[in-house]
Amino acid sequence: MSDKPSVDQDAQPAADAEQEDFPAAGEETGTTGTDGESTDASPGDPKRRGTNDVAELELSLEDTKAMPSEPAEEDSVSRERQLQAQLERVQAEADTNRDKWLRAMAELDNFRKRSRQHLESSLNLARADVLRQLLEVLDNFERALEAWEQAEQPPDETFVKGVNLIQGQLLRVLRENRVEKIESIGTAFDPNLHEAVSQIETDEVESQHVAKVIKEGYRFHETVLRPAMVVVAR
């Protein structure tokens, strides 16, 4: 019989199990997730190296933005000059357009004034023709009254009074339309206002002054409806 101690065959599997619970030297440890992938990566893991690279790029980009860039400043100055030149050009165009607008408004205002004056002048000429015809009617009233005064048998006073009233109404209508009688007696002869019929020797008025009126003259505004027919002193 041998003296070597006998080994219990039941104890050998237990020892093998204990050795499997501890990793061998040089093996990496890690935990697995629910999907079976490892959640802890070693420093040499490609996934972890990619994450670090992205972080380093982000930091580098922030540093680049923070650092002053001379080309960027030059571009900014150049852009500012371009905008300033564009602003000055637009301002000049605006000033030119405003000057044109002011000139156009002035021309339009002058056109309106000329049109208004032309219209008033045309209306005055038309009215002057009508008023000139009324003066002939007024002359006939005056001739009739002078004839009745020289008649051997004067007409009925009521009839003469009615004629005088009609003559007065006609004169009032003429005055309301700004028809004025030209004052002539004792005034200097004016060819624009007077029409000389003859000349006489007289001491009552100065030479070249109106001594007598043959037919009254009238004017409407600045328009002479008809000149006065006068006798001028020598």
List the structure tokens of 110.
């002058």
Task: Report the mean per-residue pLDDT for the chain.
Answer: 77
**Per the domain annotation, does 185 fall within a domain?**
yes
State which residues form the domain around 231: 180-234
User: Is the alpha carbon torsion for 120, 125, 126, 131 positive or negative?
Assistant: positive
**Per the domain annotation, does 220 fall within a domain?**
yes
Q: How many domains does the chain have?
A: 1
CATH number at residue 233: 2.30.22.10
**Per the domain annotation, does 4 fall within a domain?**
no
Query: For the chain, where are the E strands, in sequence order?
Result: 179-181, 194-200, 210-215, 218-220, 223-226, 228-233
**Per the domain annotation, does 96 fall within a domain?**
no
Class of residue 232 by CB neighbours under 10 A (exposed 0-12, middle 13-18, buried 19+): buried
* Location of structure tokens 């009324």: 134
**Per the domain annotation, does 113 fall within a domain?**
no
**Per the domain annotation, does 37 fall within a domain?**
no
Query: 189 and 208 in contact (C-beta within 8 Å)?
Result: yes
How many beta carbons lie within 10 A of that of residue 144, not counting itself? Answer: 14
**Per the domain annotation, does 204 fall within a domain?**
yes
Q: What is the pLDDT along the chain (234 residues), one digit of tens a residue?
A: 444 444 444 444 444 444 444 444 444 444 444 444 444 444 445 445 555 555 665 565 555 555 555 566 777 878 888 888 888 999 999 999 999 999 999 999 999 999 999 998 888 888 898 999 999 999 998 888 888 888 777 778 888 888 889 999 999 999 998 999 999 999 999 999 999 999 999 888 999 999 999 999 999 988 899 999 999 998
**Per the domain annotation, does 71 fall within a domain?**
no
Closest C-alpha among 179, 193, 192 to residue 130: 179
Closest C-alpha among 208, 213, 211 to residue 226: 213
| Model pTM score | 0.52
Cα dihedral 78→82→88→92 (10° resolution): 150
